[in-house]
Amino acid sequence: MRKRSFKPNQASETFVPEESAALSASLDRNVEALKRIFSLSDDVSFRTFLIGGTVKAELVYIPGMSDRQEIDVSVLKPLMRSEPAEKADLQEVKNRVLSVVSVEEIGTIGECARQLIKGDPLLLIDDCERALLLKIAKWDKRAVEEPKTEPSLRGPREGFTESIATNLSLLRRKVQTVKLKLQSLQLGRYTETDVYIAFIEGLAKPSLVEEVRRRIERIDLDSVLETGYIEELTEDSPYSPFPQQQFTERVDIAAASLLEGRVVILVDGTPNVLIVPVTLVTLLQAADDYYNRSLYSSTLRFLRYCTLFISLILPAAYVALLNFHQEMVPGKLMISIASAREAIPFPTIVEVLMMQLAFEVLREAGLRLPRQIGSAVTIVGALVVGEAAVSAGLVSAPIVIIIAFTGIAGFTAPHYSIELSIRLLRLLLIVLGGMLGMLGVMFGIIAIAIHLCTLRSFGVPYLTPFAPFVASDTKDTMVRVPWWKMTKRPSFANGRNRDRLAPGQRPEPGRGEEE
C-alpha cells in the first residue's frame, strides 16, 4: 500500500524551501541545506570525515535515536579504512564497504530530513547526488510485559508496547502464516505516525478491509499520538455512548480477532490496538472465557451479563420505587428504608446522584493518583466518606449499599470502554426514574435498545447475532459452547472461509482402542 505523503501546514516555518529540492553534487551545499532545516535543533550531529583518506563525506545522525556502536563498527571504521580513491562510487560503498543490514538511497533534501528524525543516520558523499540512509535506528523502549488493564488468570502474559516494530513481531509470532497481511501508511502532518492495517487474507472480507483503509486514508490532521484519534475519526456514530471499536493491549485478543476475520489497526507510539468491526457481544467477552472449560466460562459470562444489567438499572429502579411505587416494596423492607431516611433532608434522587457523583470522584482520584497510594485512597476514601455521610445525616445507609454494589457490579465489564458507557447511561436512567418512575426507567431501556438496534460498526449491526438473528453465531454469546461445537467463524466479519474446526472433534475416550 502506498504511504500517505507529507502535507506541510502553509503557516508553518519548520521546513525551509530547500526540502523539495533534489540533492546536489556539492557536499557542502547539501550539508548547509540540512543545517538550515535543523538550525534550532541541537540534538542533530554532523560528523565530517574522509573516505579512504581522500573523499570528503558527512554522517548526519541523532545520537539518542541511532545505534552509536553500529555507527562506529559498521559505518565509520570500514569507510575510513577503505582503499583511497579520487571519487567514491556510491554503489561500491553501499554494496561492498558498508556492513549495515539495510541501506537505501535518497534523492531529496526533504526525504533526508524526514528519515533522519526517525532515527536513521544519513551518509552524504561529495560529488554524489544521492544520500545513503542507514537503517540502524535504536532507542529505548519498554519491555514486553503483561497488560495491567486486562489481567487474565490463565493464558499468555504478552502485551503490546509503544514500539510498532515490536508489536508487529509479536503479532507475526502469534499468527505464523504468510496470509497475515500488514499494510502501512502514515498519518499526521507533523508526527508522520506509522499506522498498520493487519488482516488475514481469505478470512477478512475484502470489502471490510477496503472500508477500513478508505476511512483511515481520509484522515488529515496535524498529529496522531494514540489510537483514540483514529477511533473518533472513523466510527459510524460519533455521538453514540457505546464504543464501536474495540481497543486492547493483549496480543492473544488481537490474534484471535484476526482469525475471526476482523481487522486490527496498529499505531506507532501506543500499546493499544484497535479491532474492527465490533459488536456488543464481543465487548462482553473476556480472554479467560476461551482458556477455561466451557461450563465454567459460560457460568461466569452469564453472571457478567446479569451484573452489568443490574449496574445499569439498580440506582434508577431504587429511585423510581421509593418515589412512585412504594406498594411494590415489601412492607418490612419499606419500613426499614423509611426509618433510615427519616432524618435525611434531601429527596431520594438528590441523595442517589450525590452518592453516585462521590463514587465517581473517588474512582477517578484513585485512577490518577500514583499507584502506590491510589488504591488506598479509593478504599479508605469510600469507607470514610460513606460512614461520615451516613453519620451526618446527609445520606441513608441503603443508598451507600446500592451505590457500592452498583459500582462493584460495573467492574465485571471485561472492557473499560463498555463500562464507561454504562456509567453514562446509568445517570440518564436515574433522572428518568426520578421524573417518571418505573415508566421512565422502561422508556430509557427501550430507547437504549432502539439505539443499539440502529447502531453499526463498519457496517455490521451492533446487536449481531441477535438482531439480525444468526443461529450459528449464538454459540459464543451469553454462553460459550465447548470448542468442539464452535465449528464456524462469526459471519459478521468473515469472508468465504468460515470453517475453523474439522468435524468429529468431540472427545470420545476409548474409541481409538476399540478400532
Cell digits of residue 360: 465517581
The answer on 213 and 238 residing in a single domain is: yes
386 and 256 in a common domain: no
Please report the sign of the dihedral spanned by the C-alpha atoms of residue 266, residue 267, residue 272, residue 277: negative
pLDDT of residue 8: 41
Residue % of the chain over a pLDDT of 70:
92
d(CA 255, CA 419): 23
Q: What is the mean pLDDT of residues 290-305?
A: 92
pLDDT of residue 10: 38
Which pLDDT score, from 0 to 100, does residue 19 have? 57
pLDDT of residue 499: 84
* pLDDT score at 85: 82
Cell output for 23: 540533492
Q: Output the average pLDDT for the chain.
A: 87
Q: Is pLDDT at 513 greater than 80 in this prediction?
A: no
Give the pLDDT confidence score for residue 1 in this predicted structure.
Answer: 42
pLDDT for residue 505 is more than 90: no
Residue-wise pLDDT tens digits, 154-183: 888 899 999 999 999 999 999 999 999 999
Q: Kindly report, residue by residue over 342-358, the tens digit of the pLDDT.
A: 888 888 899 999 888 88
Sheet holding 45-51, edge to edge: 45-51, 55-61, 122-125, 131-134, 103-106
Residues 493 and 458: their CA atoms lie apart, in Å, by 10
> Which of 148-153's residues contact partners 24+ apart within 8 Å by CB, and which partners?
149/249, 149/416, 150/248, 150/249, 150/250, 150/253, 150/287, 150/414, 152/250, 152/286, 152/287, 152/288, 152/291, 153/288
Q: What distance in Å separates the CA atoms of residue 138 and residue 78, rounded to the nearest whole number? A: 21
Please tell me the number of Cα atoms within 13 Å of 256 on its side-chain side: 18
pLDDT at position 150 is 87
The cell 550539508 sits on which residue? Answer: 31
Whether the predicted pLDDT of 371 surpasses 70: no
Query: What's the mean pLDDT in 129-144?
Result: 87
Contact partners, residue 320, CB within 8 Å, separation at least 6: 433, 434, 436, 437, 438, 440, 441
One domain for residues 78 and 209: no
Residue where one domain finishes, among candidates 278, 301, 319: 278
Nearest CA among 71, 60, 49 for reference residue 136: 71
Residue 480 lies in a domain: no
| pLDDT value of residue 487 | 86
- 285 is a domain residue: no
User: Has residue 80 been placed in a domain?
Assistant: yes
Regarding whether 269 and 305 lie in a shared domain, the answer is no
pLDDT of 384 over the 60 cut? yes
- pLDDT at residue 494, rounded to an integer: 67
Amino acid at 44: V
The CA distance from 262 to 430, in Å, is 37
Could you tell me if 229 and 332 lie in one domain? no
| Assigned domain for 472 exists | no
Whether residue 507 lies inside any domain: the answer is no
Question: What is the pLDDT at residue 388?
Answer: 80
Specify the pLDDT at position 132. 94
Same domain, 200 and 268: yes
**389 within domain boundaries:** yes
The number of angstroms, rounded, from the C-alpha of 312 to the middle of its chain's C-alpha atoms is 25
C-alpha cell at 122: 544519513
What is the structure's pLDDT at 3?
A: 45
Q: Which of 429, 461, 493 is the last residue of a domain?
A: 461
Within a domain: 106: yes
Which residues are CB-contacts of 397 (< 8 A; sequence separation ≥ 6)?
A: 340, 390
Q: What are phi and psi of 337, to 5 degrees?
A: -70, -40
Cell of 117: 528524525
Cβ atoms of residues 30 and 18 within 8 Å: no
Label residue 84 exposed, middle or buried (CB < 10 Å: 0-12, 13-18, 19+). exposed
Residue 490 pLDDT class (50, 70, 90 cuts): confident
Mean pLDDT over 440-446 rounds to 96
For 172, the domain range is: 164-278
pLDDT of the residue at 396: 86
Given this model, what pLDDT does residue 16 score? Answer: 41
Instruction: Judge if 24 and 86 occupy the same domain.
Output: yes
Looking at residue 498, its amino acid is R
Q: Count CB-CB contacts under 10 A for residue 399.
A: 28
pLDDT reported for residue 4: 46
3-state secondary structure of 383: helix
Q: Which of 247, 278, 309 is the last residue of a domain?
A: 278
Is the pLDDT confidence value at 198 over 70?
yes
Q: Are 98 and 210 in the same domain? A: no
Number of domains the chain is built from: 3
Q: Do 272 and 330 share a domain, yes or no?
A: no
Say how far residue 323 (Cα) sits from the centre of its chain.
43
| 332 and 432 within one domain | yes
Residue 107's nearest CA partner among 96, 115, 117, 99 is 115
- Helices within 180-222 (DSSP H only): 206-217
Please compute the mean of the pLDDT values over residues 296-313 and round it to a whole number.
Answer: 93
pLDDT at 374: 62
Distance separating alpha carbons of residues 192 and 268, to the nearest angstrom: 10
Same domain, 368 and 455: yes
Res 482 pLDDT > 80: yes
Q: Sorting pLDDT into bands at 50, 70 and 90, what band is 471?
A: confident
Mean pLDDT of 269-276: 94
Q: What is the pLDDT of residues 4-33, one digit of tens each?
A: 444 444 333 444 445 578 898 899 999 999
For Cα atoms 182, 289, 458, give the angle at the middle one, nearest 5 degrees. Answer: 40
Q: Read off the C-alpha cell for 338.
A: 423509611
Same domain, 253 and 382: no
Cβ-contact 423, 359 below 8 angstroms: no
Residue 339 backbone phi and psi in degrees, to 5: -65, -35
Torsion of CA 158, 160, 164, 168, to 10 degrees: 50
21 occurs within a structural domain: yes
Three-state secondary structure call for residue 199: strand
